[in-house]
Amino acid sequence: MSATEIDFYEVLGVSRDADGAAIKSAYRKLAMKHHPDRNPGCKDSENTFKAISVAYDCLKDPQKRAAYDQYGHAAFQNGGGPGGAHGNADFGDIGDIFETIFGSAFGGGGGRARPRRGADLRYDMEIGLEEAFHGKSSEIEIEVSKACDTCHGSGAQPGTHARTCNLCGGQGNVRAKQGFFVVERPCPNCHGAGEVITSPCRDCRGEGRVDVPQKLEVDIPPGVDTGTRIRLSGKGEAGPRGAPAGDLYIFVHVKPHEIFQREGTTLATRVPISFTMAALGGSIEIPGLDGEELTLEIPAGIQSGKQLRQRGAGMPVLQGRGRGDMVVEIAVETPTKLTKEQRAVLEQFRDLETGDECPQSQGFFEKIRTAFGG
């Protein structure tokens, strides 16, 4: 820990194994002493007061305290530790406060170089609708860069150590004058790491990471859809020189199905039925994705385009309970090949038509007659 990083425990004057009560009491005493109301106009007290508030805010929360114990201040800076790009927002807020208070109040130049988190990885997985329905456990193989075993991720040949970069003094960035402005940019000597490796590890050539094919068991939960991302925390690339690993994201793509179209949790399909079934009624069987045959009652007199909704026969709700619906659209099929006998029977039927059996057609032709004064 460099001089510009003020330890939260030191700020509160407690030991690293102090319990919650001890931390709280230390904070109260200090807060009382340095409260701005008691020290009007005193900048030092104000800064100290802010510092103890930030330190207490971190240490009173067991989760944040654990992150701090593990990663130090990097836990609350962007890209570091569990508060990284995908971490929870609480850490981000503290990061900002940390920057303004610890960066300025204690005269530091922004602290040490931040340990960069490893990159997130993407893996595209194509699955069938049945698999999306049931969920599945699948083994995938990806090339992941992992911390090098030989140097334990440091990048330095065992027995040697990285030394502080003398160009940037370990800051990781350098200041340069550009016209009227002073700009900060990554140090060209250490590329922002703040350290230079003099004898690079031979196995990873100083990277601290090696690429290895890795087999991973991935659980695809029931109900996933195209666009679902499954995050495997810490399964991405190892960070450079021992920094935390990134995450692995499984991007799910569900292949089109021969029978069902899917819209969220709704499964839709179009079922052709014969004109006799449409007229007389009956029942049809549809193979459901759960392997059960679904029996659908067709009421007599059904029309083409009518949608029958079957509650709870659709896709499972992702990470929830229950299932969506199945919507079956009926398409009445007009026969195209008739035997002589069938034709004769139909002609007989036609002769028996009164017009009342098809009110829609009758109504339509009546409208035409009135419109054209027939």
Positions in the binding site for Zn ion (CB under 5 A): 148, 150-151, 165, 167-168, 187, 189-190, 201, 203-204
Q: What are phi and psi of 217, to 5 degrees?
A: -90, 125
Residue 171 Cβ, how far from Zn ion at the closest point, in Å? 7
Judging by beta carbons within 10 Å of its beta carbon (0-12, 13-18, 19+), is residue 368 exposed, middle or buried?
exposed
187 or 220, CB closer to Zn ion?
A: 187
Residue 170 Cβ, how far from Zn ion at the closest point, in Å? 7
Annotated binding residue at 42? no
Strands (E), the chain: 121-127, 136-147, 163-164, 173-178, 181-186, 195-196, 209-220, 229-232, 248-254, 261-263, 266-274, 282-287, 293-298, 307-310, 326-333
Annotated binding residue at 201? yes
113 or 286, CB closer to Zn ion?
A: 113
Annotated binding residue at 58? no
163 or 229, CB closer to Zn ion?
A: 163
Residue 77 Cβ, how far from Zn ion at the closest point, in Å? 18
163 or 343, CB closer to Zn ion?
A: 163
Residues 6+ apart with CB under 8 A from 15: 9
Residue 185 Cβ, how far from Zn ion at the closest point, in Å? 11
Residue 310 pairs in a beta bridge with 326
Asked if residue 121 lies in contact with residue 246, where contact means CB atoms within 8 angstroms, the answer is yes
Residue 104 Cβ, how far from Zn ion at the closest point, in Å? 23
134 or 146, CB closer to Zn ion?
A: 146
Closest by Cα among 205, 249, 244 to 118: 244
Q: For residue 170, give Cα distances in angstroms to 92, 111, 191, 307.
A: 24, 9, 11, 70
Asked if residue 8 lies in contact with residue 58, where contact means CB atoms within 8 angstroms, the answer is yes
Annotated binding residue at 358? no
Q: Which residue, chain included where needed, has tokens 């700009």?
A: 183
Annotated binding residue at 168? yes
Q: Which residue, chain included where needed, has tokens 């460099």?
A: 2
201 or 298, CB closer to Zn ion?
A: 201
Residue 184 Cβ, how far from Zn ion at the closest point, in Å? 12
Residue 184 pairs in a beta bridge with 175
Helices (H), 101-249: 129-134
51 or 197, CB closer to Zn ion?
A: 197
What does the alpha-carbon distance between residue 103 and residue 239 come to, in Å, rounded to a whole number? Answer: 25
Residue 160 Cβ, how far from Zn ion at the closest point, in Å? 11
166 or 261, CB closer to Zn ion?
A: 166
What does the alpha-carbon distance between residue 364 and residue 322 come to, in Å, rounded to a whole number? Answer: 44
What does the alpha-carbon distance between residue 96 and residue 76 come to, in Å, rounded to a whole number? Answer: 8
Residue 85 Cβ, how far from Zn ion at the closest point, in Å? 24
Residues annotated as binding site? 148, 151, 165, 168, 187, 190, 201, 204
Q: What residues are designated binding site for Zn(2+)?
A: 148, 151, 165, 168, 187, 190, 201, 204
